[in-house]
Amino acid sequence: MKRFVYINDDSCQNSYCDNRISNTKYTLWNFLPKNLWEQFRRFMNQYFLLIACLQLWSRITPVSPATTWGPLIIIFIVSASKEAWDDYNRYLSDKKANERKVWVVKDGIHRQMKAQEIHVGDLVWLHENDEIPCDLVLIGTSDAQGICYVETAALDGEIDLKTRVIPSISANLSPEQLGKVKGVVECPNPDNDIRRFDANMRLFPPIIDNEKCPLTINNTLLQSCYLRYTEWACGIAVYTGNETKSGMSRGTAEPKLTAADAMIDKLTVAIFMFQIVVVLVLGFVGNIWKDTRGLKQWYLMYPAKGPWYDFLVIPLRFELLCSIMIPISIKVTLDLAKAVYAKFIDWDEQMFDHETRTPAHSANTAISEDLGQVEYILSDKTGTLTENRMIFRRCCISDTMYGNDNGDAVKDVRLLNAVSSNDPDVIKFLMVMALCNTVVPIKSNDGTVSYKAQSQDEEALVNAASNLNMMLISKDSSTAEICFKGSKFYYKLLDILEFTSDRKRMSVVVKEGQTGKILLLSKGADEAILPCSYPGQQIRSYLEAVEMYSQLGLRTLCLGWRELKEDEYKDWSKKFQEASCSLDNRECKIAEVCHSLERDLHILGVTAIEDRLQDGVPETIKLLRNAGINVWMITGDKQNTAIQIGLLCNLITSEPNGQLLSINGNSEEEVLRSLERALVTMKTTRETKDLAFVLDGWALEIILKHSKESFTRLAMLSRTAICCRMTPLQKAQLVGLLKSVGYLTLAIGDGGNDVRMIQEANIGVGISGREGLQAAGAADYSIGKFKFLKRLILVHGRYSYNRTAFLSQYSFYKSLLICFIQILFSFLSGLSGTSLFNSISLMAYNVFYTSLPVMTIIFDKDISETTVLQYPQILLYSQAGRLLNPSTFSGWFGRSLYHALVIFLITICAYADEKSEIDELSMVALSGCIWLQAFVVTLDTNSFTYPQIILIWGNFVAFYMINLILSAVPTLQMYTIMFRLCSQPSYWITMALIVAVGMGPVLAFRYLRNLYRPSAINLLQQIEQTNGCVQTSRDLEPALESARSNLTNLLTGLCRNRGLNYQPLLSDSAEAAR
């Protein structure tokens, strides 16, 4: 499973594809068959195709085949043209990328060619700000140290610059030599892991170096990144075209099915079964009628003996007659409505983050209804609830705590004194802060240094160190320069032992420029560093400091160092080299080697970094919890920090109104026992008490292994949970656990570690925040701030659900209505399967008359946004699916049956005897349907805006216009019919009668229910109306503002009562707390 890339050797790698990027799904030739195949994989389409094919058999079809073929073809054309348009746009953007000019060096000659002509093994020459056309192994740069900077935002969304270095083997090659270099790169087959590239490279003579040189992701330039701050760089193409890392990670996401969609599917199946029963019964009775009475009707000339399939003809006819029970247009209608819901989210000005200038965006247009049915929210902490703007606040250096008095260690006089008096521990502490990181200092033209870092914590630490006179001035792949009190110190960077989420620490090995001492500098989480201390070191004070800081909601890191002996380092370095070269299981091997070095550390101290809560988080969580949504916080952070943040943002309540059940222990048994205890407490405690449980990643691992069931039960009982120390995989596992018991989950996060959780959940929401756009890219919805979640769920989600609930059930109602009339008519036509309506009317009924007015429901609001946000409990209605379920559907079913009876009976009574001409009578019945449905939509619309009024009644007018026009065409069956009807007073009287009888009981029933058994929605509508003012949600802002300040006071008091050394993270002044 390896790929050998021969550099600049055209003869060896013909088998690899060229660099032509293709994101298109179709080609010109396979579009039609492939698209048809895709569309016909849906059950509904197969069903309608079968119906349409049956209609071609003229012996059984009651209406012209056009009634099904027409809509079916229209629907197909609509979906196909949408696909074609999307694909064409992809083709255009591909073409642009493919035809971009790039420089390629062949045998020392620079040539310009199209990007698509690059082959594996070519040497690509890039200039500053060029986009990288394919995956390259970097072998030369303009920089003397062999580094270059790339911007990877397009790949992983991280906006900071990354450093890339050339492998040691190709250092010291002149640009001329580079152009002629020959060699072989041994690399894995293409994959989509943008963090790994485990490969080797060997160069051929004249460069004599037979050593295999290891390559990592740091030696690569990946497609779609940009070269920055580097004059030129060159690299060997190893993966091209669609086989690049970015190409492989592009995947088409599986379409998600919303709970409402699943319910609609279920109802469709139910209707389908009902239809089969109707068809069988009517077919059976029809055959009996034919054999008994039909044969006597001489004018029908029934042959005494028909063909063998005769007994099938009548049932099949009824099948075709009843096929309209399942509305053919429901899919298109719903897709259209969903697209509009998604647009409303994109357009929403109140979800526009003015600070970062990002609007909300719904990448997935198909799942807005699910937002209104969310039951569990699983939220990341850092960057989601908090701002992810790290500020160094406190530290503890050799038993002395700094920053306790004023809440800012950088301004703590004692620390400043310690720095100026050259306290060795403090200096070492600052040195680790400045050096043990992967920060890139960027010197601007005016001499000031700014830092680009992948981790916000590191940036905060380096900035704090520089404020304390320990300034990191420059850094490249091998050296770092530090300026302390004006004098410069040089360090040789020997190795970087990288941070991984398993190791939870990172280290660097440096050689001091002046003394030549080799030092190991480490930093990491307390539980990852403190156990590595040398035997005999007192770490109690550090543990206390960690405990205290995390109770304040601060993020802590422990720093340590150790001096390495020359030969110890050499031994280790060899092993490290080996591990770095291994092609398989490299990460694990490296971790093992690293661990062997990171021991016997002198612990220097603890840093505490503040991460402030985002604006509006406590109110949002309170609102969401009031709305009946269970909110879980899932974080990689420490338990105490997490609990503190949980308290601050209303997630958990302190004693006596709340209780936090901790699930932990030192052994598996203890953990499982505490789980059982928590479960018992959860079951027995009063409902009013706010219970929550807290557990960490270790406990979760044990629980998932041994006691998944009781944990699931606990999860179902608990409204709140705090899960800390979670790995990305565990986050996703928790989501999966809740999903597996049927809850609708929403995961929200901002960083790369949340991506799995976001993809696993029913709805993934990404915060387009400071940790890059990775989460936002993977998510269904991206928002700028956590506080917009309340609007996303309560306003957009709720409205979308309500609208879809009406739209889908109405689609069934209108189809059932016309179908019931056909069935009723069949009882009067000898059960022979005659269609009462002509083909044109049937087709137009589904496509025009009934689908347009109902689309106006996408503007409908049952209660205003303000009221929803005021009474979030109302979400329960959509959450529990109370507006779209078998019971509401049976209401619609009953209504359609009733309306069909009303229309049919009144029509045949009013148009009896000499008026019973079939064309006239069918048009009367059809008009009855149109009249009734206009009133049904009107009655079920909660708020009328002008598009609604125009569409509902415009459609009504359009019906008469269309039919009058059709009545003027002499060749049509309905020639003159509408003119005749419109001139009869009895026609209009009949219509009024149908409306009165059809709508009267519905109106009376609804009135009585609204008045005497109102639902909460009705009540809120009434409250809204009787209070007489229609507020826009803009008016709500002042009210929210005051609520926010009240809450802050409340929280301050609350925490003071607990007797904690508490510093409010919501307010800036430390004095306010004390």
Partner 1 sequence: MSLSGSESDSLASRRSKKPKYSKFTQQELPACKPLLTPGIVIGAFSLIGIVFVPIGLASLSASQAVVELVDRYDAECVSANDKVGFIQDTKTDKACTRTITVPKPMKRPIHIYYQLENYYQNHRRYVKSRSDKQLRYKDSAHMIKNCEPEAASEDGAPIVPCGLIAWSLFNDTYAFSVNKKSIEVNKKNIAWDSDKSNKFGSDVYPSNFQKGDLIGGAKLNDKLPLSEQEDLIVWMRTAALPTFRKLYGRIETDIMASDEITVVIQNNYNTYSFGGTKALVLSTTSWIGGKNNFIGVAYVAIGGICLFLAMCFVVLYVVKPRVLGDPSYLSWNKETPDHPN
Pick out residues in 838-897 that bind partner 1 (CB under 8 A).
859, 861, 871, 873, 876, 880
Other CB atoms within a 10 A radius of the CB of residue 286 amount to 23
How, if at all, do strands 602-613 and 386-397 pair? antiparallel
List of residues 6+ apart from 392 with CB closer than 8 A: 409, 410, 460, 461, 463, 464, 607, 608, 609, 610
For partner 1, the closer CB: 344 or 491: 344
Q: Which of residues 1010-1049 bind partner 1 (CB under 8 A)?
A: 1010-1012, 1014, 1016, 1019-1027, 1030, 1032
What's the distance, CA 1046 to chain centroid? 33
**Judged by CB under 8 A, does residue 344 bind partner 1?**
yes
**Judged by CB under 8 A, does residue 942 bind partner 1?**
yes
| Angle ∠(168,170,174) on CA atoms, nearest 5 | 135
For partner 1, the closer CB: 209 or 348: 348
Among 253, 588, 1004, 1072, binds partner 1 (CB under 8 A): 1004
Instruction: Describe the strand order of the beta sheet including 745-749 as a list of residue ranges.
Output: 361-362, 781-783, 763-767, 745-749, 376-379, 630-634, 720-724, 690-696, 658-663
Which of 119, 116, 107, 108 has the alpha carbon at shortest distance from 13? 119
Q: Which of residues 514-543 bind partner 1 (CB under 8 A)?
A: none
Whether 838 and 919 have beta carbons less than 8 Å apart is answered as yes
Q: x/- site string to partner 1, residues 765 to 804, per CB under 8 A? A: ----------------------------------x-----
Whether 359 and 782 have beta carbons less than 8 Å apart is answered as no
**Judged by CB under 8 A, does residue 965 bind partner 1?**
no
* DSSP SS3 for 418: helix
How, if at all, do strands 555-564 and 602-613 pair? antiparallel
For partner 1, the closer CB: 983 or 1042: 983
**Judged by CB under 8 A, does residue 450 bind partner 1?**
no
**Judged by CB under 8 A, does residue 993 bind partner 1?**
yes
Q: Which of residues 231-260 bind partner 1 (CB under 8 A)?
A: none
Interface size with partner 1, residues (CB under 8 A): 96
**Judged by CB under 8 A, does residue 946 bind partner 1?**
yes
Which of 948, 627, 1013, 616 has the alpha carbon at shortest distance from 801? 627
Other CB atoms within a 10 A radius of the CB of residue 551 amount to 19
**Judged by CB under 8 A, does residue 986 bind partner 1?**
yes
Q: Which of residues 276-295 bind partner 1 (CB under 8 A)?
A: 293-294
State the Cα–Cα distance between residues 811 and 333, nearest whole angstrom: 9
**Judged by CB under 8 A, does residue 901 bind partner 1?**
no
Tokens of 27: 């080609």
**Judged by CB under 8 A, does residue 363 bind partner 1?**
no
**Least distance (Å) from partner 1 to the CB of residue 679?**
18
List of residues 6+ apart from 459 with CB closer than 8 A: 390, 439, 451, 453
Q: Which of residues 918-937 bind partner 1 (CB under 8 A)?
A: 918-919, 921-922
For partner 1, the closer CB: 313 or 702: 313
Among 404, 467, 712, 984, binds partner 1 (CB under 8 A): 984
**Judged by CB under 8 A, does residue 989 bind partner 1?**
yes
State the Cα–Cα distance between residues 1050 and 1064, nearest whole angstrom: 11
Q: Considering only 24-32, 489-497, 534-542, 827-835, which stretch makes contact with partner 1 by CB under 8 A?
A: 827-835
Active-site hit among 122, 353, 380, 526:
380
Report the greatest alpha carbon distance in the chain: 121
**Judged by CB under 8 A, does residue 908 bind partner 1?**
yes
Sign of the four-CA dihedral 369, 374, 380, 381: positive
**Judged by CB under 8 A, does residue 742 bind partner 1?**
no
State the Cα–Cα distance between residues 877 and 892, nearest whole angstrom: 18
Place of tokens 């970097």: 138
Q: Considering only 82-90, 276-284, 355-363, 481-489, which stretch makes contact with partner 1 by CB under 8 A?
A: 355-363
Whether 707 and 675 have beta carbons less than 8 Å apart is answered as yes
Tokens of 458: 């590191």
**Least distance (Å) from partner 1 to the CB of residue 873?**
5
Q: Considering only 38-46, 248-256, 526-534, 939-947, which stretch makes contact with partner 1 by CB under 8 A?
A: 939-947
Among 206, 303, 424, 536, binds partner 1 (CB under 8 A): 303
For partner 1, the closer CB: 258 or 835: 835
Q: Considering only 356-364, 429-437, 554-562, 601-609, which stretch makes contact with partner 1 by CB under 8 A?
A: 356-364
**Judged by CB under 8 A, does residue 365 bind partner 1?**
no
**Judged by CB under 8 A, does residue 685 bind partner 1?**
no
For partner 1, the closer CB: 73 or 968: 968
**Judged by CB under 8 A, does residue 950 bind partner 1?**
no
For partner 1, the closer CB: 183 or 998: 998
For partner 1, the closer CB: 526 or 1024: 1024
For partner 1, the closer CB: 16 or 859: 859
H or E segment to which residue 40 belongs: none
Q: Considering only 256-264, 330-338, 462-470, 978-986, which stretch makes contact with partner 1 by CB under 8 A?
A: 978-986
Cis omega (within 30 of 0) for bond into 424: no
Whether 747 and 256 have beta carbons less than 8 Å apart is answered as no
β-partners of residue 512 are: 491
Among 154, 996, 1040, 1054, binds partner 1 (CB under 8 A): 996
Which of 387, 403, 374 has the alpha carbon at shortest distance from 881? 374
For partner 1, the closer CB: 573 or 873: 873
**Least distance (Å) from partner 1 to the CB of residue 839?**
13
**Least distance (Å) from partner 1 to the CB of residue 271?**
25
Q: x/- site string to partner 1, residues 20 to 59, per CB under 8 A? A: ----------------------------------------
State the Cα–Cα distance between residues 118 and 18, nearest whole angstrom: 6
List of residues 6+ apart from 111 with CB closer than 8 A: 103, 104, 105
Which of 675, 663, 761 has the alpha carbon at shortest distance from 711? 675
Active site residue 380: yes
**Least distance (Å) from partner 1 to the CB of residue 736?**
21
Packing angle, helices 1037-1057 and 639-648, rounded to 10: 130
Whether 203 and 170 have beta carbons less than 8 Å apart is answered as yes
Among 4, 40, 88, 347, binds partner 1 (CB under 8 A): 347
Which residues are part of the catalytic machinery? 380
